[in-house]
Amino acid sequence: MNAVTNDVIITQEISPLPNIAANAHKGQLGRVVVIGGCGGQVMMAGAPALAANAALRTGAGLVQLFIPESIRTPTLIMTPCSTARTLPNASQAILDGLQDFNADAVAIGPGLGTSITSDVLAAVLQALNIPTVIDADGLNILARLGDFTWPHAKKTVLTPHLGEARRLLSSRHIDLVLDESETSRRAAALALVEAYSCTVVLKGAGSIVTNGRRLYINGTGNVGLATAGTGDVLTGMIAALLAQHIDPIEASILGTYLHGLAGDFAAEELGRRAMLATDVIAYLPEAISDHEIAEST
């Protein structure tokens, strides 16, 4: 059901998952690159691994990680179905790697830390012409770029939580009083779309997904998702759907819905306090099956 409010369509419609041909092979089911991870005194190897595993669970046929050399071994142990290459420190080398892998979509940011510079991210975005998800440290780097724009922003999905949304809006000199209320978060999501020309998933209780024309308020999920790594899972899921050639707004709505639903199934079995991000991935098959059954009836 849709309703129109101030030229924005408030939607509750959730797309079906893409059909898979009986003779399809892995190269045809979406190739995802995850750019993330960092070494140093504080290492983040789990974040890109979570995004990669979530992408595979959401139907991507192939996933490759671009990660620092120092975390290659632990990351690959956590995601044995993925491949990896050392994250280059130059934009052209990153772009060449994406082309070599024939990537259909890229996720930038899970656990990235300072593994790439603002200038490198800017140059990569300027040249990218494939669907992109920017999350976590990718968003922090984007905020430092100020009024930066890039040609294919409409193919990009931003997935901030409220704090990241504040930084992004502040970098564009947009002064909004942001709080946890739905009205405030809706205004923030729409302001982000206007500022960056991207699809936005503003995460939180009742995550808001919008491209400025349609707006979806998610009804799945629970407080058990308020734990480290669940955002990385969502990033991988949306990237997988984009790689399967789903429109950014549809991929963002569907990914957010399934992410929350998997969290609800996990909470039902494990309890909200005990949930881990890995549990959300474990319950994705149940969430996907539930949605497929609902779509077929």
Domain map of the chain by residue range?
A: 27-296
pLDDT in tens, 253-262: 999 999 999 9
What is 27-296's CATH number, 3.40.1190.20, 3.30.420.40, 3.20.20.70, 3.40.50.150? 3.40.1190.20
pLDDT in tens, 118-175: 999 999 999 999 999 999 999 999 999 999 999 999 999 999 999 999 999 999 999 8
Banded pLDDT at 40 (limits 50, 70, 90): confident
Burial 126-138 (b: 16+ CB within 10 A, else e): eebebbbbbbbbb
**So what's the pLDDT on residue 178?**
87
